[in-house]
Structure 1
Amino acid sequence: MSDREKLYEGKAKIVYMGENPDELILHFKDDTSAFDGEKLAQLAQKGEVNNAFNAFIMEYLQQAGVPTHFLRRSGARESVVQRLEMIPVECVIRNRAAGSLCRRLGIEEGRILEPPVLEFFLKSDALHDPMINHSHIRSFGWASEDEIAAMTRWTERVNVLLLALFARAGLILVDFKLEFGRYHGALRLGDEFSPDGCRLWDAQSLEKMDKDRFRRDLGGVVEAYIEVARRIGVPLA
């Protein structure tokens, strides 16, 4: 690993240069964080589980026509992806009220949102990922009008696809975030999709099956991730 060029190390992944300039290697770590890095821990197996989970979801979305940067898994903790010029905007879609939406608007947790709420946030740990709108994105040049429309369209499409996938597994997809980037000018879904970046509840008990277990000191974080993976058919070693 030391002979590869490290491009970036984040809270949950390390990004290395791939074998050619158009490819990157994502290394999924066991590190877990919350509250902009104020709460940190290492959870055994998390990197392996999230790598397998992400590969499964990305391939599922690709088969449904969603353009993603994912190419292949290359190891228990690593995947090869296209190198994107990332857009510094998080697209968050909410099917039920939870997290910051409840705090901002005083909405009770679990309220069904019909239609789903789509929000944009600037990806910036230093600024605590502030909420932004369509005008901010255009005025500051983070994305073009066409790209905003495409990010919106693909986020809503992913929501429809994943709502159905998780519902079949007895799970409620409460909310999730997506990030996009440009591959030679073409928009692609980037980053990852795992229980680190979404909220999932058991449909019967409403038990939290995502990173809220870490945020709220509920325990059994990786065990919950593994259970979600098992239900939707992710092959785990």
Structure 2
Amino acid sequence: MKNLNLLYEGKAKKIYEKAPDEVVIYFKDDVTAFNGEKKDSIIGKGRINKKITTFFFEMLEEKGIPTHMISDIDENSFLAKKVKIIPLEVIVRNYTAGSFCRRYGIEKGIKLEKPIVEYSLKDDDLGDPMICRNVVLSLKLVEEKVLNKIEYYALKINDILSQFLESKNIILVDYKLEFGISNGKVYLADEISPDTCRFWDKETMESLDKDVYREDKGDLIDKYSEFLRRVEI
């Protein structure tokens, strides 16, 4: 990446400009929790997350979900279409966990009757606050037809991934998605990995995701590697 212009560096990734309409997504070994209050660098994490993300993006593309991924580059990087990221985190929940339990005083691990789609404003300075659909539209963060498309994709992704992981004896508890726009078309962007999803073993309900790090419940690389093995990547 020495000769590429760094466009953006986040908690877990770096984005480099490859061409006017292409970027390189580089996955770092950094891991953070609680809006960056807890952070470490764990060798191998970036490689695993990139491998899982490209696996899921390829699967979703085959099922009709447009992603910004173009091609693989190396262990930590892939080439992607440059998109304008929509300033929303799209959260899909199948079971109660995390902030949902704290917000509503609900027990962890309850299966929801229907998947719930929530939104948070993508703003680190504000702590990524929750935002409802009406406020999203009132603030003109995105057009209604685009928001409808995002929600449609989010729920279709949920069906695809839930069914696949069920076959591996893994529960897709909840997850966060980001989307971008290029030439008026909506694309799934960013990543799908144990950093952005909750994956539980169906029998033991043990975490195979970043909650292991958040809650000091074991070795993060061991759990991420177990997820890799279970889904046969």
Task: Give the TM-score range, shorter chain.
Answer: over 0.9
CA–CA distance in 2 between the matches of 1:90 and 1:213? 22
Match of 1:111 in 2: 110
Deviation at 1:148, TM superposition (A): 0.7
State how 1:46-65 maps to structure 2 within 5 Å: 46-65=45-64
Match of 1:80 in 2: 79
CA–CA distance in 2 between the matches of 1:73 and 1:136? 37
**What one-letter code is carried by the residue in structure 1 that aligns with 2:157?**
V
Match of 2:166 in 1: 167
Give the SS at the match of 1:26: strand
CA–CA distance in 2 between the matches of 1:229 and 1:144? 37
Q: Which aligned segments of 4 or more residues in structure 1 are displaced greater than 3 angstroms?
A: none
CA–CA distance in 1 between the matches of 2:20 and 2:112? 42
**What one-letter code is carried by the residue in structure 2 that aligns with 1:141?**
K
CA–CA distance in 1 between the matches of 2:142 and 2:122? 13
Deviation at 1:233, TM superposition (A): 2.0
User: How many pairs align?
Assistant: 233
Deviation at 1:171, TM superposition (A): 0.4
Match of 1:229 in 2: 228
CA offsets per residue over residues 78-111 of structure 1, 9 Å max, x none? Answer: 0001000110001101000000000000110001
TM-score for both structures, normalised by structure 1: 0.97
Give the SS at the match of 1:169: coil
CA offsets per residue over residues 130-177 of structure 1, 9 Å max, x none? Answer: 110111111111110101100110000000000011111110000001
Give the SS at the match of 2:186: strand
CA–CA distance in 1 between the matches of 2:185 and 2:227? 32
CA offsets per residue over residues 98-125 of structure 1, 9 Å max, x none? Answer: 0000000011000110111110110111
CA–CA distance in 1 between the matches of 2:124 and 2:69? 25
Match of 1:6 in 2: 6
State how 1:138-217 maps to structure 2 within 5 Å: 138-217=137-216
**What one-letter code is carried by the residue in structure 2 that aligns with 1:21?**
P
CA–CA distance in 1 between the matches of 2:24 and 2:2? 13
Deviation at 1:73, TM superposition (A): 1.3
TM-score for both structures, normalised by structure 2: 0.98
Gaps of 5+ in 2: none
Gaps of 5+ in 1: none
CA–CA distance in 1 between the matches of 2:229 and 2:183? 36
CA–CA distance in 1 between the matches of 2:134 and 2:169? 38
Deviation at 1:219, TM superposition (A): 2.1
Match of 1:98 in 2: 97
Deviation at 1:212, TM superposition (A): 0.2
**What one-letter code is carried by the residue in structure 1 that aligns with 2:207?**
K
CA–CA distance in 2 between the matches of 1:62 and 1:223? 29
CA–CA distance in 2 between the matches of 1:66 and 1:186? 12
**What one-letter code is carried by the residue in structure 2 that aligns with 1:181?**
G
Give the SS at the match of 1:199: strand
